[in-house]
Chains A and B, each alone.
Chain A
Amino acid sequence: MSQHRALPAAPPSAPEHREGAWAIGFTAMGCPCEVLVDTDDPERAEVVASVARNEALRIERKFSRYRGDNIVHRIHSAGGAPVAVDDETAALIDYAATCHDMSSGAFDITTGALRRVWTFDGREAAPTDAAIAAALAHVGWQRVTWRDHVLTLPHGMEIDFGGIGKEYAVDRAAALVADDGSGPAALVNFGGDLVATRERREGRPWTIGIEDPARPGEAAAYKVELLSGGALATSGDARRFVTSGGKRLGHILDPRTGWPVMGAPRSVTVLASTCLEAGTLTTLACLAGERAREFLEAQGVRHWIL
C-alpha cells in the first residue's frame, strides 16, 4: 500500500485518484495541504476539498501575524490598551490559557519576542544572555490580562497563534467536512497535521506514513493505519535549528528560560481524537526535552518518537 504524503505546493490541484479515493491539494497557512476524500466521484471530492480549503484560508486570514487587517494586527497595534475579541478568538485564547496552566508555563503563546533574538536558519549564532533576558521581559502569559472577552497585551509583547492555529484549522475543516456524517469520509491534512473524519468504506484503512527526519522524502519510518476517525500531529526539532558551540539547539523555545529545549525529540507524532489535542501533546512532549517519551507514556496516548 502506498503511503500518504503531503503534496508539494499547488493550489487546488486537479483531483488525483489514489487508493480508491480522490486527493486534492492546495497551499494554505504557509504549508502544503491535501484533502483525501473516500468517494468514487471526483467532483464530489472537489466540493468537499473546497469546504476544507475555504476554512483553512479563513483561519489563516484571521490569525496570521503577517496581515494588517485582522484581530492579531489590532491586538499588536493597541499599544497595551484592552482589545475586545470575538467568540472564536476568545475560545482559542481560552484554550491557550488552559494549556499554559496545565503545563506550568511551558506552553505559552507569547513567546514572539524571543523570536527576534533567535534566528533558526542553521547559522552559528546564539544570542547573548543579556539579549535573551531583555527579550524575556516581553514574554509570559502571566503578564497578560485576559477577562470577559477582553485582552490586554502589554506593549512590546506579541501573541502568536501559530502554535495552535494549524491544528485548530484542521479540526474545524474536518468538522465542517464531516457535517452530519452523511457525506463521504475524508482525510484533511494541513502540512502533516491531519484528521480523518471517520472510517473509510469497506473497512479500508487510511494509511499515513511518519517520515524519518533523517531521511526526508523517502520511505516512512512508521506506517499508521487508521480504521476509524482520528487525528495525528507532528512536532520536532529536525528541520530548524541553530548550532552554538558545536551543539545543535532545536527551535522549540522554553518561555521560562528563553533557551531552546535541550534533548527534544527530532520528531514526535501523537494520535488523538482531535488535532488540537494531538498537537498540544506533541508541543508539550518537545518542551519536556529528554523526558518526552516519559511524558507521553504517562499520558496514555499513542505516539511515535524518532
Chain B
Amino acid sequence: MTHSTRLLLHAAALTAALLLGAGCGATAVKPWDHDLLAQKKMSFNPTPHEAATDDHIYFSKEGSTGGQTPDGGGCGCN
C-alpha cells in the first residue's frame, strides 16, 4: 500500500468516525435549538468574498490549491 493511499484511508476513517459516530446516542438537535445555528455567521464560509480572495492569493504563492469547492484553474499565476 503506497504512502498516499494509507494516508487517505486514515483520513477517511477519521472523517467518517467524526461525522457519523459523533452524536450517535446523543440527543439530536431539536428545531427550537436552532437559534444559534440560524445566524449567518454560523456557517463554514460566512464571508465567501474573503475566502475567494484568499484562494487566489494562496494559489499564486503556494503549491497547493483547492479542497473546498469544485472549481479549478482560473488564472495564470501558478
> Which of A227, A271, A302 contacts B38 (CB under 8 A)?
A227
Interface membership of A226, Cβ < 8 A: yes
How many contacts A-B (CB < 8 Å)?
18
Give the docked Cα–Cα distance between A227 and B42 (Å).
13
The 8 A CB mask of B20-57 against A (1 = contact, 0 = none) is: 00000000001010111011110000000000000000
Contact with B along A178-204 (1 / 0, CB 8 A): 000000000000000000000100010
Q: Do B35 and A205 have beta carbons less than 8 Å apart?
A: yes
* Cβ A226 vs Cβ B30 within 8 A: no
State whether the Cβ of A103 lies closer than 8 Å to any Cβ in chain B.
no
Which bucket holds chain B's interface residue count?
under 10
Taking a contact as CB atoms under 8 Å apart, the answer to whether A225 and B30 are in contact is no
Which of B30, B32, B41 is in CB contact (< 8 Å) with A203? B41
Q: Is the pair B32, A199 in contact by a Cβ cutoff of 8 Å?
A: no
- Which residues in B have their C-beta under 8 angstroms from that of A271? 32
Q: List chain A residues, Cβ under 8 A from B35.
A: 205, 225-228
Q: How far apart are A205's CB and chain B's nearest CB, in angstroms?
A: 7
CA distance A226 to B39 in the complex (A): 12
**In the bound complex, do residue A227 and residue B36 qualify as a contact, i.e. CB atoms below 8 Å apart?**
yes
A227 CA to B40 CA in the complex, in Å? 11
Q: Which of A204-222 contact B (CB under 8 A)?
A: 205
What CA separation (Å) do A244 and B32 show in the bound complex? 40
Q: Which single residue of chain B is at the shortest CB-CB distance from A225?
A: B35
B24 vs chain A, min Cβ distance (A): 21
- Closest CB-CB distance, B71 to chain A, in whole Å? 30
How far apart are the CA atoms of A2 and B41 in the complex, in Å?
A: 24
**A256-275 interface bits toward B, Cβ cutoff 8 Å, 1 = contact, 0 = none:** 00000000000000010000
Complex: chain A residue closest to B30, CB-CB? A302
A227 contacts which chain B residues (CB < 8 A)?
A: 35-36, 38-39
Residues facing B in A223-240 (CB within 8 A) are: 225-228, 230
Complex interface: chain B residues within 8 A of A203 (CB): 39-41
User: Smallest distance from the beta carbon of A272 to chain B beta carbons, Å?
Assistant: 9
| Separation of A230 and B34 alpha carbons in the complex (Å) | 12
Q: What are the residues of chain A within 8 A of B34 when measuring CB–CB?
A: 228
Q: 12 A-B contacts, Cβ less than 8 Å apart?
A: A203-B39, A203-B40, A203-B41, A225-B35, A226-B35, A227-B35, A227-B36, A227-B39, A228-B34, A228-B35, A230-B32, A271-B32
Across chains A and B, which 7 residue pairs bring their CB atoms closest together, nearest first?
A227-B35, A302-B32, A203-B39, A228-B38, A227-B38, A271-B32, A225-B35
Which A residues contact B (CB, under 8 angstroms)?
199, 203, 205, 225-228, 230, 271, 302
